[in-house]
Structure formats: C-alpha cells, structure tokens
Amino acid sequence: MSSTVSVPVFDKKKHVLLIPDLFPIHMELLANVIRASGYRVEVLRTHGADVMEAGLKYIHNDMCYPAICSLGQQLHAITSGTHDPADVAFVQFQTGGGCRASNYSMVLRKALNKLGLEIPIVTLGFSTLSRNSGFSLTPAMCIRALVAVTYGDLLLLLGNQVRPYETNPGQTQSLLRHWEETLGRELSAARAGLGQVKRNLKNIARSFAEIPVKAAKKVKVGIVGEVYVKYSPFANNQLEEFLQNQDCEYMLPGVLGFLRYCLSSPAVDWELYGGSRFSREVSVFLGRVIGRFEAALSRALAGYPQFHTPPSFRQMREKGERILSKGVKMGEGWYLPAEMVELIESGYDRIICAQPFGCLPNHIVGRGTLKRFRELYPQAHILPLDYDASLSRVNQENRIKLLLTDAREKMTQTDPTPVPAPTSAAPGLASSF
C-alpha cells in the first residue's frame, strides 16, 4: 500500500464531476450552476448498506460519520461498477476551519491510494480552492450559486409549510418538482439576471400560496444539527420522509444563514482577537452580498403572512447570544442554538438535534446547551439524536415517536380537539428530499 499522495489534474473535457448528496433540494440546482460553465456534473443519490460499506471499508471508522457517508457515496460509485474511475473526478467541500471536515479531501485521497486509483479531487471551500484542480470558480459562478441556494431555501421553506396541510395530496411535491426543473433549466443556461431572480422568487411564493390547504392541528417539529446530517437523507435515515409519515409539520432551516455564519468567522475573530483586517473586510463584504439574497427571499414572502419568514442574520446573532458567545465557532458553533431559539419562538417547540456520533463541537453546542434552554424555554423539548453507521434506525425513530406522542398529549390537554395520529404514508414522499 503506497502512502504517496499524487495529485492528478481534473480535465473538464474528460471527467464527470461526482458530487455527494448534501442538501435536499439545493444540490441539483447547484449542479446546474456548474453545468452552465461547461462542466459535466452528477449528484450522487445512492443510499443504503452497500454505500455505507464502501465508506467503512476504505475510511477509518474514527473519522466522522459525515465523512464515511459522503466519501462512501463517491467510493461506491467507482467500486460498484456504475462509473469508470478513468472518467470521473470528485468534488469535496472543505470548511477550512479547525474541524475534521477540513481533511476530507486528504482522507479521500488516502482511500484512493489504497485502491491504487488516481482520481482528481476538486476541493471547494471557504478558504481554499485546491491548486492544480483544473476547476475555476469564477465570481459569476459564485453569484449564481447563491441564487441557486436562495431558490433552494425558499422551496424548502414553503414545501415544509404547505405539504402537511394540502387538500390535494401530492400537489406540493408536484409544484416542487416543477420549480426544480424550471429553475434548473434557467440556471444551466446562465441566462437569468437579478430582475428575473426576484420575479422567480415572487412567483414561487405565489404558487405555493395558491395551493388549497385545510385547517388542521399538527405537531410542529424543528430540525437542527450538524449541517450534513441534518440535511442529507442518506445520513439521517430519511428523517424528513419519516416525519412526513408521522403527519407533523417540520421546519428545516435554510442554507443561506449557515453560509453567512461560516463567512462571518474572520470578522468575529478580528473583533474578539485582532488579526487580519483584510480578512475582516472580505468577510463583511461577503456577508453583505448574502444579505442581499436573504432580503430578496424575505421580500418575496412579504405578502403572505401565513408563511414563516426567516429572520435576518443580525437577529439570528442576537438569538444565538442568549445561549452562547459568538466566539464559539467550531462546528455549527453559536449558529446551532440560534436556530433552536428561532424555531422555538416560531412555534416549532419540539426540536430534533441531529448530530454525528462523536462529533465533539456539535455535542457542545447542541446537547451541551440543553440546560440553558430548559431555563429559558421550559415548554420546549429538545431531542439530541446521534447518527452513526452502527446506530439503530429503529431506535432513532422510536425516540422521535415518543417526542411526538408527548407533544400530541400536551396539545390535547390545552385543546381537547384530538390531534390526528399518523395513519399511512404521506403521498408523493420525498424522492427529491
């Protein structure tokens, strides 16, 4: 077994970029942004025991669960015979912080060395784009990527709020698919200006508001946690699909806020510890750019008071500081409790905190803040749920069922109208979620 780290170069004409499935709706939209620049891209949607096995076989099980899942999808693609290793390149996302997520590319390279394969890895991160990657991330691509994330956030937000109450089962899911295809085509042609983006956001909000809904009393659940496990259906054992089957309303916060949290770190460092003023200026500038997209999303929802509108980043920071200092930035840092505060104050007072087993930073900012939450929000119930390749899905689901049963009993005590218990699988379930 060689330990030599070779760096083959990605060739746009020769290689298909394989991207792990991170976010529910956003990934395909982001893939279209990359396609618009002439690259060939495939988002890996593979799930199941074989994929997990591929991760466990080539990656040490001391590595984080998100590494085993996301790298496992890529390793499975080349070891299962579905993709020719000579024709593919891998995309990895790198946080650039002190966490293990900053080493995923090297872990993948080591696994490829074990397999005797030389496959290019394009590393996309907040602080680095791997040199010699052969991939160029232009400012226009970054702006289009932000557009894609904004669309994804709005679709996620509205789909979550309308689906549980739709009169015609499956209508919300069909509308989601329609928008994914329409926006995907537009993003891959790179032809929409900012005026069109704003019109699209308004049209999305209007189309969801037009779906007929019926009044119903449902348990409202918020999902927070480590960014990969909370979003990826593969990593969280189809958590969203499970919650849809349990006939509750759930809220999964958007990705824009998390991006802004990550990019705000240099400005926080400068404020608390000194350091590079240039990094601080870049951080503030990028935060303002994302803030424009957040504002456009909020404006699109302005005429629809029935929909929950995400708060501004400044408001999120204020909410976070009730629990933790903004200097806590490892893992999901102060942003995770900020999301919990926001969800509880918006009525989602049953919270699932999805965390990789052994993820130290997120256990500190998740489970570690429960005492403070009990003091500030005694009505809220926060369920920290660990995810790992060896942990039982049945056990996770039973714990969620207990959370929901308790919530239904409490609701019936305050309002004697019975809260419907789950009867059958919800229609049109999350194939794209």
Rg of the chain (C-alpha set): 21
Torsion of CA 28, 29, 32, 37, to 10 degrees: -130
What's the closest the beta carbon of residue 127 comes to ligand SF4, in angstroms? 15
Q: Which residues contact 256 (CB under 8 A, 6 or more apart)?
A: 146, 149, 150, 153, 290, 293, 294, 297
Closer to ligand SF4 by Cβ: residue 237 or 362: 362
Closer to ligand SF4 by Cβ: residue 106 or 411: 106
Closer to ligand SF4 by Cβ: residue 164 or 331: 331
Closer to ligand SF4 by Cβ: residue 97 or 152: 97
Query: Token digits for 369?
Result: 């803040």
What's the closest the beta carbon of residue 93 comes to ligand SF4, in angstroms? 11
Closer to ligand SF4 by Cβ: residue 158 or 353: 353
Cα 24 from Cα 64, distance rounded (Å) = 20
Q: Is 66:356 a contact under the CB 8 Å cutoff?
A: yes
Give me the residues paired with residue 213 across strands: 166
Task: List residues binding ligand SF4 (CB under 6 A).
Answer: 64, 66, 99-101, 226, 331, 356, 359-362
What are the φ/ψ torsions at residue 251 (nearest 5 degrees)? -125, 125
What's the closest the beta carbon of residue 88 comes to ligand SF4, in angstroms? 24
Residue that is written with structure tokens 């209007």 in the block: 206
What's the closest the beta carbon of residue 78 comes to ligand SF4, in angstroms? 23
Closer to ligand SF4 by Cβ: residue 282 or 391: 391
Query: Token digits for 388?
Result: 């790992």
Taking the CA atoms of 302, 308, 313 and 316 in sequence, report the sign of the dihedral they define: positive
Q: Which residues contact 163 (CB under 8 A, 6 or more apart)?
A: 172, 173, 244, 426
Closer to ligand SF4 by Cβ: residue 34 or 359: 359
Closer to ligand SF4 by Cβ: residue 64 or 162: 64
What's the closest the beta carbon of residue 336 comes to ligand SF4, in angstroms? 10
What's the closest the beta carbon of residue 330 comes to ligand SF4, in angstroms? 7
Q: Which residues contact 91 (CB under 8 A, 6 or more apart)?
A: 17, 18, 19, 20, 121, 122, 123, 124
Pairing of strands 350-356, 220-225: parallel
Cα 355 from Cα 365, distance rounded (Å) = 10
Closer to ligand SF4 by Cβ: residue 228 or 348: 228
What's the closest the beta carbon of residue 405 comes to ligand SF4, in angstroms? 30
What's the closest the beta carbon of residue 353 comes to ligand SF4, in angstroms? 13
44 backbone φψ class: left, alpha, beta (φ>0; ψ -120 to 50):
beta
Closer to ligand SF4 by Cβ: residue 101 or 154: 101
What's the closest the beta carbon of residue 325 comes to ligand SF4, in angstroms? 18
CA neighbor of 383 nearest in space, from 394, 396, 364: 396
Closer to ligand SF4 by Cβ: residue 58 or 335: 335
363 Cα distance to chain centroid: 18
A 10 A CB-CB count for 53 gives 16
What's the closest the beta carbon of residue 55 comes to ligand SF4, in angstroms? 13
CA 8 to each of CA 89, 133, 212, 410: distance values in angstroms, whole numbers, following the listed order: 10, 8, 54, 59
CA neighbor of 390 nearest in space, from 62, 100, 75: 62
What's the closest the beta carbon of residue 432 comes to ligand SF4, in angstroms? 25
